[in-house]
Structure 1
């Protein structure tokens, strides 16, 4: 009965009908904005380090760390940063022993830069501009160069794997920097492109560590024969 009376009043009073339609539009618009704001963090969560170059707003921070939609959560952020710091420090320690073993600066210098880059990524998280981007780029470039140059101090068939891992990593990085939106790897998303840069480096680190352990065993066997 009350609803019927309201309809009759809106039918006889044009101003009341206009106000009612305005309230309905405002309500629908507010609900639409709320749904967009709710979906935004999931959209930003898929962004990686390579997404922080820039966009139309001129903000060079990685989108995932931009307020108010930052997806930096604890304790996962602290775990990741601590892992990067520890990994970078271990790479720097390993650089000393690699140089003692091979005595080749062409490998030890880029390997040291790789360790510094990984360490810097942990010290300067994604919301520290521009340092995070600088150290991330140093990690990607020096890591790919190290993997390629390490082929000079190892034997086949691991030598060819080093060339393959380094080539894939540097090619993916170059495509992300120079091709932009024309990059065919963008079908994987920016996070997928970044993984094509990083995963070959991780595979090489595992393989190179195993190679060095085997190299040490061969050295001990040669000394024993003498």
Structure 2
């Protein structure tokens, strides 16, 4: 009977994992569309604020640096707190969407840089927990799950610049905040669908802690914090 109960528990986890992967794919796709709006924004920022190429390039450098290295912190925190990992995976894309969409409405370049810093934290806080959860989505096909998750983000990343450029041509750079509307509708659906999984996943805090205690201690940053920048 004990073995039967364990089998049911594992099958239940696998069922939840299969349901999580499409949500994670949608979140990654959405996050990476908006995270790559900056190439379409740069020419507009140069024209709007009469920027030199050096100042315009600084925006890209700041955004890329923060979004890359902040992942180390969020990967570390996600390994320690499973509940935080779940929340970040489904909430962080909202941060990216809101702040990247508001760039065109900013009246000064320092405010633009501030928004880019906040948006970079959104994408940085999504990728480590998102990749970790994608790996948990299937116990038998972890590599496939992660590769599908990455492919969804890559597709979104490729679509970001042409979508932003097309919108700017139609509605103008100053109305870039309207770009957030379709993503916010999708985010509301994702949050609604992920809420049962958040509630189901939070009790796994103790389970995750027990798993870590059962493994030999390897001091230093956890391996997930050093995942390739997706």
On whether the aligned pair clears a TM of 0.5, the verdict is no
Higher relative contact order (CA 8 A, sep 6+): 2
TM-score normalised by structure 1 residue count: 0.31
- Normalised TM-score (structure 2): 0.31
Q: Counting helix residues as a fraction of each chain, which structure ranks higher?
A: 2
